[in-house]
Amino acid sequence: MKINVEIDEDSGFCFGVVYAIEMAESILNETGKLYCLGDIVHNDEEVSRLTAKGLNIIDHEEFKKLQNERVLIRAHGEPPETYKLALENNIELIDASCPVVLKLQNRIRVAHNDEEKILIYGKHGHAEVIGLQGQTNGEAIVIEKFEELDNIHLPKKIQLYSQTTKSTKNLYALRDLLEKKGVEVEFNDTLCRQVSNRDHHLKNFAKRFDKIIFVSGKKSSNGKVLFDACKEVNPYSFFVSSKDELQKDWFTENDHVGICGATSTPQWQMDEVKETILLL
């Protein structure tokens, strides 16, 4: 089958993920061993590649039991309790928190210290959101879906922040909804522009092709947002987390196929998907 395939040059790792992975690989090449608190990136294939090099993924319960070790903090960031525990247990933290996330953490911490009421728009249980809420001693309100507002007693005035990878359209819609409910909103657009700008870029990219193959880990919040952007303009958009999920019947002779991905998608994985399509 003859198929033309093109990979989006602007897809793939954002600078925060690149920084974390380069830091991990540098240490692994040196010592062959490193702990990482949570998946270094929301992409199972990339995690497997790094695990084979000696990266040991641990959760917070395992972290509490460690002593005298080196532990990487991934781009999502961590709450203050993690740093405190590391000091108590003589753990050397290799801090690869994304600078955009660190800046946001600081803004929320300052607002909380000024006794402002804070609402965070983000995914419940997401590592970045846990880190953000931790800046407020767990006092900030977190909502993932707008319907949750119906069950929350909202203060008259609130500072609105967002997980850095949420949808621009939804964040602004949330602000408008809060104002309609009579809440005075101090609005903070804390979205990462590498993500929010990709939304617009990928819509333009997806329009150019017969089919779109979007490559992303299933756990990636950013991947879901960007795939939806593709699907909105091109109904023939397909989500895969590995080359093995490709299906021959998605394609027809002379299709022009575009491949793109999330900020947590490695270039090598998009290359694999392209090679697999060309062999169909």
Is domain 100-191 in CATH 3.40.1010.20, yes or no?
A: yes
CATH for 4-12+194-278 is: 3.40.1010.20
Do the domains spanning 4-12+194-278 and 100-191 agree at the CATH topology level? yes
Q: Give the pLDDT of residue 219.
A: 85
Q: Which residues are catalytic?
A: 128
Q: Give the pLDDT of residue 278.
A: 93
Q: Give the pLDDT of residue 259.
A: 98
What is the token pair recorded at 237? 């958009």
Name all contacts of 199-205 with Cβ < 8 Å and 24+ positions apart.
Answer: 199/167, 199/168, 199/225, 199/226, 199/229, 201/10, 202/8, 202/11, 202/226, 202/229, 202/230, 202/260, 203/229, 203/230, 203/232, 203/233, 205/8, 205/230, 205/258, 205/260
pLDDT along the chain (280 residues), means of 10: 92 90 95 95 93 96 96 96 97 95 96 96 94 96 95 93 89 95 93 81 95 94 89 97 95 96 93 94
Please give the single-letter amino acid code of residue 205: F
pTM score, whole prediction: 0.85
Residues 6+ apart with CB under 8 A from 189: 162, 171
**SS3 letters for the chain?**
CCCEEEECCCCCCCHHHHHHHHHHHHHHHHHCCEEEECCCCCCHHHHHHHHHCCEEEECHHHHHHCCCCEEEECCCCCCHHHHHHHHHCCCEEEECCCHHHHHHHHHHHHHHHCCCCEEEECCCCCHHHHHHHHCCCCCCEEECCHHHHHHCCCCCEEEEEECCCCCHHHHHHHHHHHHHCCCEEEECCCCCHHHHHHHHHHHHHHHCCCEEEEECCCCCHHHHHHHHHHHHHCCCEEEECCHHHCCHHHCCCCCEEEEEECCCCCHHHHHHHHHHHHCC
Closest CA to 95 of 80, 111, 110, 113: 80
**What are the domain boundaries of the chain?**
4-12+194-278, 15-97, 100-191
β partners of residue 240: 215
Q: Which CATH architecture has domain 15-97?
A: 3-Layer(aba) Sandwich (3.40)
Report whether 21 contacts 50 (CB < 8 A): yes
